[in-house]
C-alpha cells in the first residue's frame, strides 16, 4: 500500500533559500491474516402477520381445568377466553356488561362488569377477579355468578405484550391492596385511573420487572 504527499517549503523574503516542493512517498506491505475475509451482514427483515383472529370462549370449573355445562348453575363461575393460531399477543377484556337481552338494545337493562378500558369494576363489590394467566393468549375471569339469567357481552382486545398502558390493561380490585394489574403488580399504578377516566400512558414490558 502506498501513500504520497508533497512537502512544501515557503521561505521568508530575506531567506537565501528559495521555496521548493518535494514529493514524499511512503510504501509498506499490508499484512492480512490468513483467515481474514470481508464482513458479510445478513439483511434484517421485519415480519407482520395479517390474518383473522380465532377466539374461543368457555365456562370452566373452579380450577379452570374443564368446561362446565352451560346449564349448570354455580355461585362462582370462571370465564375462559383464548386466542389461537396467531403470533404471541396479550388477550385483554376491554369491556363487559351483563344484559337482559341476547343483543344489546336501547331498552336492555345493563350491569357493567368490566369498564374504563380493562377495569373489573364488579370486583369492588363482589368476589370477581382475574386469575393468573396460563399463557398470554388467554384470559381467565373468575366471575361471581348472578342470581338470575343474564347475557354477557364483552369487547376483546389482542395487544402487544410490551405495549400495556392506561387503555390496554387488565385490572381488578383487591380489598387489601386496591387496584392491581394482572400481568405485573409492580405496575399497578396503571390501574389508578380506574377511579376516573383511563387514558393512554405507556409502560415497559410487564415481564421485564424494570
Residue 23 lies in a domain: no
DSSP 117: T
Please identify every stretch of the chain with a pLDDT value under 50, giving residue numbers as ranges.
41-48, 64-77, 80, 83-86, 205-210
What pLDDT is attached to residue 33? 66
pLDDT at 87: 56
Q: Which residues pair with 56 in a beta bridge?
A: 82
Residue range of the domain that includes 162: 56-195
The CA–CA distances, whole Å, from 170 to 73, 158, 191, 193 equal 26, 12, 8, 12
Residue 146 lies in a domain: yes
Kindly report the number of other CB atoms within 10 A of residue 19's CB atom: 10
Of 75, 77, 84, 40, which is closest to residue 62 (Cα–Cα)? 77
Q: Give the pLDDT of residue 160.
A: 81
Q: What is the pLDDT of residue 37?
A: 57
Q: What is the pLDDT of residue 34?
A: 67
pLDDT at position 134: 83
Measured CA to CA in angstroms, residue 175 lies from 75, 146, 185, 207 at distances of 20, 21, 15, 25
pLDDT of 8: 79
Domain harbouring 61, CATH code: 2.60.40.4100
In a domain, 162, yes or no: yes
Residues 6+ apart with CB under 8 A from 179: 119, 171, 172, 173, 188, 191, 192, 194, 195
What's the CA dihedral at 189, 190, 191, 196 to 10 degrees? 100
In a domain, 173, yes or no: yes
26 lies in a domain? no
Does 16 fall in a domain?
A: no
pLDDT digits (tens, 9 = 90+) for 36-92: 655 554 444 444 455 566 666 666 655 544 444 433 333 334 554 554 444 578 889
**Contact between 145 and 166 (Cβ < 8 Å):** no
Residue 184 lies in a domain: yes
**What's the pLDDT at 28?**
63
Number of domains in the chain: 1
Tell me, yes or no, whether 179 lies in a domain.
Answer: yes
Grid coordinates standing for 140? 381467565
Amino acid at each position: 500500500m502506498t501513500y504520497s504527499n508533497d512537502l512544501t517549503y515557503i521561505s521568508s523574503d530575506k531567506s537565501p533559500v528559495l521555496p521548493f516542493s518535494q514529493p514524499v512517498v511512503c510504501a509498506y506491505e499490508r499484512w492480512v491474516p490468513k483467515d481474514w475475509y470481508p464482513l458479510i451482514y445478513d439483511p434484517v427483515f421485519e415480519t407482520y402477520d395479517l390474518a383473522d383472529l380465532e377466539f374461543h370462549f368457555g365456562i370452566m370449573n373452579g380450577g379452570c381445568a374443564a368446561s362446565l355445562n352451560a346449564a349448570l348453575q354455580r355461585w362462582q363461575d370462571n370465564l375462559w377466553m383464548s386466542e389461537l393460531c396467531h403470533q404471541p399477543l396479550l388477550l385483554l377484556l376491554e369491556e363487559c356488561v351483563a344484559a337482559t337481552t341476547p343483543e344489546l338494545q336501547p331498552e336492555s337493562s345493563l350491569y357493567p362488569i368490566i369498564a374504563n378500558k380493562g377495569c373489573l369494576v364488579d370486583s369492588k363489590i363482589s368476589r370477581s377477579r382475574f386469575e393468573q394467566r396460563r399463557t398470554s393468549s388467554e384470559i381467565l375471569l373468575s366471575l361471581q355468578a348472578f342470581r338470575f339469567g343474564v347475557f354477557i357481552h364483552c369487547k376483546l382486545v389482542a395487544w402487544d405484550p410490551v405495549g400495556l398502558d392506561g387503555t390496554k390493561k387488565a385490572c381488578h380490585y383487591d380489598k387489601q391492596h386496591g387496584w392491581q394489574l394482572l400481568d405485573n403488580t409492580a405496575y399497578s399504578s396503571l390501574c389508578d385511573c380506574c377511579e376516573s377516566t383511563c387514558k393512554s400512558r405507556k409502560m415497559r414490558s410487564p415481564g421485564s420487572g424494570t
